[in-house]
Amino acid sequence: MWPPWSEDSPANLNAAACRRLGDPTRHWLGSTGVSGNVLSLGWPLAVLLSVFTIAAAAVVRSAGLGDWRAPITAAARCVVQLAAVSLVIGYVLRSMWWTVAFVGFMVLVAAGTSGRRITGSLGWRSTWMVLPILLAVSPPIALALIAGVVPVEPIAVLPTSGILVGGAMTAATLAGRRVIDELEAHRGSYDAALALGFTRRQSVGIVARGPAALALVPGQDQTRTVGLVTLPGAFVGVLLAGASPVEAGAAQAFILIALLMVQAVAAAVTIELIAAAQVRGKSALPA
C-alpha cells in the first residue's frame, strides 16, 4: 500500500488526473472535492461486513433460497477483487491504453459470467456472450465521447464503462436464463410451433420473449423511482467528488438512460443468440 503522501498513491494519481482534465471534469466529476473519509476504515468495518455476510448465509439456508455458501463466496470475492482493483487502479488511470485494456477485461469477465449462468458451464459457447455486451455498451460510450458528454480521459471513461458493462451483463444473464427456463418448461409449445411451420427464431419468440422482457424491469423501475426511492451510485459519487447537485443529477440521468438502451440491446441480442442455437442451456433444443 502507498502512504497517503506518496506521489504514486492512487488518491494522488487520481487527483493529478482530475487536474489534467480541466473544465470537462468539473462538469463530470466536480472540481472541489470533499475532505475526510467517506467510510471509516478499521476493525468495525470488518466486523460489520462479517455480520452482514453471516446473516445473508443464515437467511438463505433457513429460507431454502439456494446454496448458503453462495453469499459467503460472493462476499469474499468482493473484498479480494476490490482490494486488487484498489492497488492497480492508479496505474490504469495513468494511460488511456491501460484503461481501454481494463475495460476489455471487464467485458470478457462479464461475458464469461453471463455465459456460465445461461449455459450452466464456462464452455466455448459462452464466448458468444461477448457479442451482446459489446453491441450494447459500445454505441453509448462512443457517442458520449464524440459528443463531449464524457471527457476522453481515463478517470471518466473507466467508471462510465464499468457501470454500463455491469448493466449489460445483468440484463443478458436475466434474459438468457428466462428464455432457457421457458423453453425447457414449455418444450411442447416450442415443438408445436415448429410443427406448424414457424421457424426456430419465431418459435423461441412465441414461447419465451414475453417472460424474457422481465429482465428489463429492474432497470426500468430504478430509472422511474430515482431520487424518490434511491440515490444511485453515480449521483452520490459525483456529489462526493465536489459537483453541484445539478451536475450530479445530470451525470446520473445520463447513466440511467444509457442503461435503458444498454440493457435492451443486451437482452435482445442474447435472445437472438439463443434462437440461433449459438447459446444453449443444458438440454439442447432441436433446430
99-103, 161-165, 217-221, range with the lowest pLDDT: 217-221
Q: Would you say how long the chain is, in residues?
A: 287
Q: Which of 158, 38, 155, 180 is nearest to 101 (CA)?
A: 158
| Model confidence at 40: pLDDT above 80 | no
pLDDT of 4-16, one tens digit each? Answer: 444 444 444 444 4
DSSP letter string over the chain? ---TT-TTSHHHHHHHHHHHH-HHHHHHT-SS---S-SS--SHHHHHHHHHHHHHHHHHHHHHT-S-THHHHHHHHHHHHHHHHHHHHHHHHTT-HHHHHHHHHHHHHHHHHHHHHHHHSS-SGGGGGGHHHHHHHHHHHHHHHHHHTSS-SSHHHHHHHHHHHHHHHHHHHHHHHHHHHHHHHHTHHHHHHHHHTT--HHHHHHHHHHHHHGGGGHHHHHHHHHBTTTB--HHHHHHHHTT--HHHHHHHHHHHHHHHHHHHHHHHHHHHHHHHTTSS--SSPPP-
pLDDT of 134-170, one tens digit each? Answer: 999 999 999 999 999 898 999 889 989 999 999 999 9
29-38, 208-217, 255-264, range with the lowest pLDDT: 29-38
Contacts of 149 (CB under 8 A, 6+ apart): 254
Q: Where are the domains of the chain?
A: 34-92, 95-282
pLDDT of 175-217, one tens digit each? Answer: 999 988 888 888 888 888 888 888 888 888 888 888 888 888 8
User: In whole angstroms, what is the distance from residue 83 CA to residue 87 CA?
Assistant: 6
Locus of grid cell 487502479: 89
pLDDT at 194: 85
| Model confidence at 257: pLDDT above 80 | yes
Q: What are the cell numbers at 220?
A: 426500468
pLDDT at 252: 85
Q: What is the arithmetic mean of pLDDT over 219-234?
A: 80
Backbone angles phi, psi at 67, to 5 degrees: -70, 120
pLDDT of 50-90, one tens digit each? Answer: 999 999 999 999 998 889 999 999 999 999 988 888 888 88
Predicted TM-score (pTM) of the model is 0.75
* pLDDT band for position 239 (cuts 50, 70, 90): low
State what percent of residues in the chain have pLDDT above 70.
80
Decide: 40 and 55 in contact? Cβ < 8 Å.
no
Q: Which residue has the higher pLDDT, 104 or 13?
A: 104
pLDDT at 38: 60
Task: Kindly state the DSSP code that residue 150 receives in the 8-state scheme.
Answer: S
The angle that helices 96-119 and 154-185 make with each other, rounded to 10 degrees, is: 10
pLDDT at 78: 92
| Model confidence at 282: pLDDT above 80 | no
* pLDDT band for position 121 (cuts 50, 70, 90): confident
12-16, 37-41, 255-259, 262-266, range with the lowest pLDDT: 12-16
Q: Which residues pair with 226 in a beta bridge?
A: 230
Q: Which residues pair with 230 in a beta bridge?
A: 226
Q: What are the cell numbers at 173?
A: 444473464
Q: Return mean pLDDT, the chain.
A: 81
User: In whole angstroms, what is the distance from residue 270 CA to residue 213 CA?
Assistant: 12
Q: Is residue 120 exposed (0-12), middle (13-18) or buried (19+ Cβ within 10 Å)? A: middle
